[in-house]
Every structure is written in C-alpha cells, then in structure tokens.
Amino acid sequence: MSNLLMKRTHYQNEALFAILVQFPFVIILSPLVGILQGALSAASFIVGGLICVLPNFYLYRRVFSHQGARAAKKMFKSLYWGEMVKVVLTALGFLCAIMTGWALPLWLFMGYITAQISFALAPLLMSFMKKNNQGMRT
C-alpha cells in the first residue's frame, strides 16, 4: 500500500486514504452486526458498504486520471461527470441489492451510512496518524 501512496500527489494520497478507510471500517463493524442481528444483516451491511466504496473509488480514479495545471479543465469536467456516474452507480447498486430478494434494506442503508461516516472521519484519522508519527520521531 505504501508504494501505491508514494507515487501520488499529496491531495491524491489524502483522497485515496479516505476511500481506503471506508471498507475496513465496515468490515470491522460487520461481526458486531452479525452477532446482534444475524448473518444476513451482516452480509447486507457489507454489501451496503460496498455500494458506497466502489462508486467513490470510480470517482477517485476518474478525477485523478488528469494531472498538472493544464489538466485543470479536464479535471473539473471529470469531477462533474464522475459525480453523476457515481450517483447512478450508487442507485444501481441499491437497486440490484434489493432486487436479489435476500438483502435487508435497513442494513444495506446502515452499511452505506457507516462507509459515508468513515469517509468523513478519515481526515481526523489521518491527522491523528501524522501526530503520532511526529511524536515517535522526536
């Protein structure tokens, strides 16, 4: 993972880190859901997390495929269209999951929300990790 992060700019690293935090956060909480609500709820929770993470990763790849000052216009256009595709992918993910018949809509949504919350908490985690790394160096 460190090689993946090393070849990118600072902003690309932060965006990728935020996305990479999402799914492990869902995976860590899924056994708790399984214990409290059953295996089907845990599976639905994980699928809901994937419905959030995969479109976010698509958006990341689309936006950061262009680099440099001359690519700013392309980057903006990619952000606009990428966000639209992300919304469509998310809707299709929920539709497909619900159409399977086995997925529990409440836990799909809870997994999705958990992944969204972890995305919002990623900058806090990143700053905490940076402070710990600086403290260890001194």
Q: Angle between the 39-63 and 72-99 helix axes, to the nearest 10 degrees?
A: 160
Q: Determine, yes or no, domain membership for 81.
A: yes
Q: Determine, yes or no, domain membership for 138.
A: no
Measured CA to CA in angstroms, residue 47 lies from 3, 44, 50, 80, 90 at distances of 28, 5, 5, 26, 11
User: pLDDT tens digits, residue range 53-102?
Assistant: 999 999 888 887 777 667 777 778 888 898 999 999 999 999 999 999 99
pTM of the model: 0.79
Task: Count structural domains, the chain.
Answer: 1
User: pLDDT tens digits, residue range 36-45?
Assistant: 999 999 999 9
Q: Determine, yes or no, domain membership for 2.
A: no
The letter for the amino acid at 51 is I
Measured CA to CA in angstroms, residue 50 lies from 54, 56, 62, 71, 118 at distances of 6, 10, 18, 30, 13
Helix/strand/coil for 130: helix
